Amino acid sequence: MSKKKNISQYRNIGIMAHIDAGKTTVTERILFYTGKSYKIGEVHDGEAVMDWMQDEQDRGITITSAVTTCEWKNSLIQIIDTPGHVDFTVEVERALRVLDGAIGVFCAVAGVEPQSETVWRQADRYKVPRMAFVNKMDRTGADFFAAVHSIREKLHANPVMLQLPMGSEDSFSGVIDLIDMKQIIWDDDTKGAEYIKEDISSEFEDMALDYRDKLLEAISEVNDEIMEKYLSEEEILNEELTQAIRKATISRKIVPVFCGSALKNKGIQPLLDGVASFLPSPLDVPPIKGLHPDTLEELEFLPKKNDPLAALIFKVSMIEGRKLSFVRIYSGKVKSGDDVYNPLLRKSEKLSRILQMHANKRERMEEASAGDIIGIVGLKDSGTGDTLCTQTHPVFLEKMEYEAPVISIAIEPRTHADQEKLESVLEKFIMEDPTLKVSQDPETGQTILSGMGELHLEIIISRMRKEFNTQVNVGNPQVVYREVLTSKVKGSSIFEREISGKMLFAQLDIALVPLERGAGITFQSKVPQEQIPPQYISAVETGIRETLEGGSLKGYPFVDVGIIVEGGRADERSSELAFSVCASMACKNILEKATIKLLEPIMEVEIFVPDAYMGDAIADLNVRSGKVEAINSKAGIQIIKAVAPLSRMFGYSTSLRSATQGRGTFSMKFSRFDMV
């Protein structure tokens, strides 16, 4: 790595898209043209640098976000290549949390696809400035303008074209730069490493002038200085236009749009120029905010090397059995061998090594500072979402929220040796992946693994076998249901018993009421303090919540229940234990006489099938109790939007492939819980 750059030259970006839009291919080209790779790795050959995990190479998809660092002209670009599959949205969430900017990659044929919508909304939530790259301009059915239109319509963004494609499909030959008003043609013999910028050929001239005017008009709407010059027909210099585009991109008023074909090595260098010119450095985004762990006062940390340390662990990986923590430093600096403070655990940890990441290869660094995204070895107890700071300036940076798992499988070790390994292997997976949950089934004694989808669990099992050499038998996937009450029920309990030579007493009258979907579990007490002191009330709440967690009908957790303590009595024999047990007894009494219904997870499904197979796809959905909500057609492809119960969607990918001769694809995400 050359000498340390100024923080204003840093670009911390993510590359995000729907599965198969060409995200990893774009990243591979970036690594090649910035000199990080000496040959281009192809996803379809299982050789992509960023997809270094065995499962990623076998399946040709990205599963885990990889971090890499490269230089382009004067910028230091730190890239996170994120997965596009819906089961791994948490990987995207973690990346967006620590990035300053992003490139959305869209397929020129399909435009905005379901998963690109999901990641775009995630980026909206974290207020990440974005650029768009319309990829696959060489594919049959490629339509640049339709793709841009779908960005405007589906994502409610304001796309502004900075380039036009020269032709499309087989005739796609290069791009027209609407700022410099030049055309760019790539040399196939050098794998696109060399290109020429020349005057626009006559066949594209009128279109280029027309769209240059549209570009000026779009920028004048978000920049007053450009508007004045545009209206008075003064000349607008390229530098002024570039500055105005940068300002509007960083303030998220526009999304600059580029185009090309990563697979055919066209369009990547101007995209890199765009990253340097238009996406923010850590100085251009608002400073990170956090809370003081004791006073809860809001603190702000500036991206300065000599300020107090504030860093966030956004991901933990177990690579070759060692724990590697991925960290974004927002403020301050760290050196190899330093002690850092984790305010959540209230303890110090030692950084034994600091690493600059290049996918799964690493380079040692002595020091890292504000703006850097690094790997750290040596953190024993700190996990994903934890903050690292100094003891003299403690801070909590905002933790990340994760969705609850919707699907479970039972696993059991094959041999005694596997039994011994299983627990530590699962511990490592949970440390890596906050959306994975492990529990024991009290009745069967089996280990239950819960995750975000079939593919998610399939890959965990595959990694268990390949990476950790742990063999397990897998039970069929089980849906994680929920239980609900259908009407208000009341119950009471008196607890009077001698425990360890001491008499304990508690009396409670409780009501449970059904709440509307999504309300969660609420608690209120109507009992005066003199009847039951406040310290016992929290024990009552804990006792009831724990009982509801264990379910009643089938042992699934209750949701959407209001707990009301309507009466009760304490005396000198009372204690927290007495009230906790009494609350649990009262709750069980109520549930025995209550009418309870099951809720099941309902999934939103989006299916892409060629026209000829639409009838078969809908017939298959009907068999699975799916409800079709909308059908749109586009370039010979039918897009079916539907909802279906998760329990009926197992093995769907296989049956869709066989019904459409392998040409149908689908994506599925959790929508809501509904009555079975």
Q: Does residue 48 carry a pLDDT above 80?
A: no
Find, among 285, 351, 364, the residue nearest to 313 by Cα.
351
pLDDT score of 89: 57
pLDDT class of 536 with cuts at 50, 70, 90: very high
pLDDT, position 538: 92
- In this prediction, residue 68 carries a pLDDT of 83
**Phi–psi pair at 397, nearest 5 degrees:** -85, 155
pLDDT digit string, tens, across residues 451-461: 877 777 888 88
Q: What pLDDT sits at residue 49?
A: 43
Q: Please give the pLDDT value at position 303.
A: 92
The rounded Cα 156 to chain-centroid distance in angstroms is 20
Q: Specify the pLDDT at position 81.
A: 67
The predicted-structure confidence for 287-326, as pLDDT tens digits, reads as follows: 999 999 888 899 999 999 999 999 998 888 776 667 888 8
Report the pLDDT value the prediction gives residue 97, as an integer from 0 to 100.
78
Q: Tell me the mean pLDDT in the region 200-229.
A: 94
The predicted pLDDT at position 359 comes to 53
**What pLDDT, on the 0 to 100 scale, is given for residue 495?**
94
Q: Read off φ and ψ for residue 13, nearest 5 degrees.
A: -125, 155
> pTM of this prediction?
0.67
Please count the helices (runs of H) and the strands (runs of E) in the chain: 15, 38
Is the pLDDT score of 464 beyond 80? Answer: yes
The model's pLDDT over 435-454, given as tens digits with 9 standing for 90+, comes to: 788 888 765 667 888 887 77
Q: What is the pLDDT of residue 425?
A: 86
Tell me the DSSP string of 587-638.
Answer: HHHHHHHS-EEEEEEEEEEEEEEEGGGHHHHHHHHHHTT-EEEEEEEETTEE
Please tell me the predicted confidence (pLDDT) of residue 56: 40
Mean pLDDT of all residues in 100-118: 85
Give the pLDDT band (50/70/90) at residue 37. Answer: low
Residue of higher predicted confidence among 256 and 469: 256
In this prediction, residue 57 carries a pLDDT of 45
Place of tokens 């959306």: 435
pLDDT of residue 268: 94
Alpha helix positions (H), 108-190: 114-125, 144-155
**219-239 confidence digits (pLDDT tens):** 999 999 999 999 998 999 999
Q: Which of 81-90, 480-489, 629-638 has the lowest mean pLDDT?
A: 81-90
Please give the Cα distance from 73 to 34 (Å, whole number). 9
Distance CA 594, CA 187 (A): 74
Mean pLDDT value across the chain:
85
pLDDT confidence band for 54 (50 / 70 / 90): low
Inform me whether the pLDDT recorded for 390 exceeds 70.
yes
pLDDT of 36 reads: 66
